[in-house]
Amino acid sequence: MARRNLFQPPPPPDVAKTAVSASEQKARFPNTGAMSGVKSTLKDVASNAVREISVDVIEENGPKDRLTFTDADVVALAESIKGHGQQVPIMVRPIAHKPGHYRIVYGRRRLQALRSLGIPAKALVRSLSDEEAILAQGQENTQRLDPSFIEKALFAAELATSGYEQAIILDALAVDKPMLSRMTKVARSIPKPVIEQIGAAHGIGRRRWEELADQSRNEGVDLEQITAALQLDATKSSDDRFSMISDAITQALKPKAAGKLAPSPTLSIKLSDGTTLAEVKETARALTFKLSKSDAPQFAQWMRNNAEAELTRLYEAWQSEQKPD
């Protein structure tokens, strides 16, 4: 076997192998090159990384998806975080005009608990548009928080008032158009201060909230006045506070219901021989005359032909009687 001189330069590379290697690289990182592909992968990993951020640079403004937390809720969560650490990160997004500051996307209760402990927040940082932030907020709440009907209704109304498109609101709340319409109707019919005093009321479903909204809108009930007269602070349960207001409204409407006139009975007009000539029925909207085609068919036909003239004559006779002497 011939021995190769160790100082002899190595043979040139196989062109075919080089071409295959290049094509494989292009398939793995199309249109970017190998280094760009590596950078893209590192960027994806970094976007999923949890960072520690001072709670002092995180702002909480923006649409709220939950009613206010009780102090007890925040204290209980703070104790849990103190003992076991923050298990679930919050999500924030950078504020473009304030470098180094962030706006909360979701995790407001966790943020309040962390503020009370004076420790940084573990957070996912996302560069999101307003619409993307609302979608992330709504989806996280649906999966983890199980918000009540009235919390969803207030969130939907606030998003609509803020100018978000209906498609964004539907996706954020995972509801259809009829349900969104019902939510918006309830949120706009019941004064917000009343809702805030009641609370989330997880045990109160859509139908009872709709009934309360109808009473406020159709019956002319002053919900704020009724609520102010009740001692709701003494009631711990949000569901109980709702029931107290509902019962108070029912009591307030009783005199009004009792004052309504009972429907007038049907008046039967008969001739001296007992023949039924007509029936007169009165409702809140109309006075109806019903002529019998079976008992007085010829008169019914004559009235049909002369109704305009006879009713005009009767009206003029009535009108002349109204004139003062």
Going by pLDDT thresholds of 50, 70 and 90, the confidence category of residue 43 is very low
Dihedral of the alpha carbons of 51, 55, 56, 61, in degrees to the nearest 10: 100
DSSP 3-state of 102? strand
Higher pLDDT, 150 or 17: 150
DSSP 3-state of 136? helix
Q: Are 172 and 138 in contact (CB under 8 A)?
A: yes
Q: Which of 39-43, 221-225, 317-321 has the lowest mean pLDDT?
A: 39-43
Predicted confidence (pLDDT) at residue 317 exceeds the cutoff of 70: yes
Amino acid at the residue 255? P
Q: Which tokens is 2 given?
A: 């011939």
The per-residue pLDDT for 186 is 93
The single-letter DSSP state of residue 56 is: G
Rounded mean pLDDT of the chain? 76
